[in-house]
Amino acid sequence: MTGALPYSVLDLSPVKEGATPADAFRESLGLARHTERLGYKRYWIAEHHNFPGIASSATAVLLAHIGGGTSTIRIGAGGIMLPNHAPLTIAEQFGTLATLFPGRVDLGLGRAPGGDRLVAAALRRGLGDSTDRFPDEVEELRGYFRPPAGRRAVRAIPGEGLEIPLYLLGSSDYGARLAARLGLPYAFASHFAPAALDLALRIYRDEFRPSSSLKTPYVLVTVNVFAADSDDEGERLFSSHRRMVLGLVRGVPGRLQPPVDDMDALWSPEERDRVEAMTRFSVVGSPASVRRGFEAIVKRTGADEIIVSGQIFDHQARLRSLGIAAGALASFRQPHPPIP
């Protein structure tokens, strides 16, 4: 039977102008506790590197901090960039998390480096090898979490037998096809790369093969949300996120900046078009506007779960935004049976 549509949160542990990573970690823990009280299902953080405004690089370490300060909300990576790591290392890290916080840990996997080529090289990623090992690495990682069988030469301890739920992340048809072939849930990064959304979801559902962990397709869609008491205030909160994306467009990423009333004073028409293309999958404004935005997204995507993202400079305004979003999402129904 279907039930209420689950809603979750993706956090990058943003470092704001004038603040430090320590401040970001304190706010992330406060955010996780707040979303736990609001009924959010999962609190995920994403692996990024060499971004002055993102403090979630040591993803498993930060999740241990969050898990120790919460009690019921699921915690996980949205995601770990698997080509940066040996699968055994990730199995041991997340096996440790799942041992510390049983029944609460998810592991989302991405294929990008979480940074530029210099970052990839610094992480010892094989840039000169064109072989795509990602599917094999996903299968290797799955194997470490399976129950003991025979005499394994290499075992993940802790990790073995824990069957930690895996999710594939993507922003193109590649991830959709692989998630479908492996019978895994698929989380689409529409919050920053919405162009291929409709195609990717269609491919995933059309090509899905049931697996031992998932019998029917399960789609998670990430949405930027900037909710406030009025449409004008929501747009103002949105400007901090737009400023962050503008820095990426210019190739000069920085710390999260305060909101402004007029973005036209900061960007050129060409820059505006690029930022808006990257952030068009956003829900902005008053509670009524936010609900209408979610209705359109759920109708368009048939999402089984909504993941709320969005960088907001003021911490209290961010908590308020997540409260409005939860109020709007609580009445939606899930099209398919839930998964853990």
Average pLDDT over residues 106-133: 72
- Number of domains composing the chain: 1
Using alpha carbons, select from 47, 38, 79 the residue that is nearest to residue 164.
Answer: 79
* Residue 338, in any domain of the structure: no
pLDDT computed for residue 129 by the predictor? 55
Residue range(s) defining the domain that contains residue 237: 7-329
Kindly state whether residue 213 falls inside one of the protein's structural domains. yes
CB 84 within 8 A of CB 125: yes
Strand partners for 53: none
10-60, pLDDT tens digit by residue?
999 999 999 999 999 999 999 999 999 999 999 999 999 999 999 999 999
Helices (H), 111-265: 117-122, 134-145, 173-182, 197-207, 231-250
Query: Does residue 334 lie within any of the structural domains?
Result: no
Note the Cα 305 to chain centre separation in Å. 12
Q: Is residue 154's pLDDT more than 60?
A: yes
pTM for this entry = 0.93
In angstroms, what CA-CA distances link 191 with 109, 234, 265? 17, 16, 24
Of 1-15, 71-85, 258-272, the poorest mean pLDDT is in 1-15
Q: What's the chain's average pLDDT?
A: 92
| Residue 36 in domain | yes
Does the pLDDT of residue 338 top 80, yes or no? Answer: no
CA distance 142 to 167: 11
Q: Is residue 136 part of a domain?
A: yes
The answer as to whether 339 is a domain residue is no
Which pLDDT belongs to residue 230?
98
Check if the beta carbon of residue 285 is closer than 8 Å to that of residue 231. yes
Is position 13 within any domain? yes
Band the pLDDT of 1: cuts 50, 70, 90: very low
- What tokens appear for 263 in the block? 């973005």
| 110 — pLDDT class (breaks 50, 70, 90) | very high
Residue 177 lies in a domain: yes
Q: Residue 340 above 60 pLDDT? A: no
CATH of the domain at 201: 3.20.20.30
164-217 pLDDT per residue, tens: 999 999 998 999 999 999 999 999 999 988 889 999 999 999 999 999 889 999
pLDDT of 264 above 80:
yes
Q: Where are the alpha helices (DSSP H) in 46-124?
A: 59-68, 87-100, 117-122
